[in-house]
Amino acid sequence: MKSRPAAGPGNDVETDRLRRMLVVLASIVGAAAALHLADHVVRGELVDDHNLIPEWNHSGWPFRPEVTPFTPSLVIPLVFLGGVVLTQRRRLWARFWLIWSIIAGGVVVAVHVLPGPRTETMGVIYRSYDRGGVGPLAGAIAVLIVVVIIVGLAGLISLALRARRRSGRW
């Protein structure tokens, strides 16, 4: 028979539920981030192989010779993984997820939404697959992955604030 956790801030049934929710949502967003980074590599190859617009290639080292903003972004899924493990072990809590989700969300919005010459819009993602000979379904899936990341990060921000309110601690 499982014993109930002791009462107190950060150690009740609702807080445990919020912890599980953080872990599940962060796992989904982290997996989507890893898929999106793989998508960068695939689209980079499509751009090169099908002579598409070179600015659509958002890959970089170690898959291309040059270091690009893609290169340091390879740590993003690892940060999610570490956060998930440490949250599960009760070492991280709402503050980590709030700060990390705001930072990651800012990067995603800057790269995929704000106008600029190198913006990787949803249209660029979609057209890379469609014009690269893979087809519209692959492009739609790649766009959906970005949407999952954006919605998931917004959800993590909301969940982190709720966890803070409920537990009384960051």
Annotate 140-151 with DSSP letters as a single string: HHHHHHHHHHHH
CB 57 within 8 A of CB 125: no
User: Residue 7 domain-assigned?
Assistant: no
What's residue 170's pLDDT? Answer: 85
Residue at 74 is within a domain: yes
Domain assignment of residue 28, yes or no? yes
Q: For the chain, what is the domain count?
A: 1
| Contacts of residue 32, Cβ cutoff 8 Å, sequence gap at least 6 | 145, 148, 149, 152
Residue 60 lies in a domain: yes
How many residues does this entry show for the chain?
Answer: 170
Phi-psi region of 24 (alpha: psi -120 to 50; beta: other; left: phi over 0): alpha
**So what's the pLDDT on residue 8?**
40
Report yes or no on 9 lying in a domain.
no
Token pair in block for residue 41: 């590599």
* Residue 4 falls inside a structural domain: no
**Each residue's pLDDT tens digit, 92-133:** 999 999 999 999 999 999 999 988 888 899 999 999 999 998
Q: What local confidence, expressed as pLDDT, does residue 11 receive? A: 60
**Do the domain assignments include residue 8?**
no
Let me know if residue 61 belongs to a domain. Answer: yes
| Structural domain harbouring 73 | 16-167
pLDDT computed for residue 167 by the predictor: 86
pTM: 0.89
- Return the structure tokens found at 71: 């290169």
Q: CA–CA separation, 170 vs 168, rounded Å?
A: 7
Largest CA distance in the chain: 63
Low-confidence ranges of the chain (pLDDT < 50): 1-10
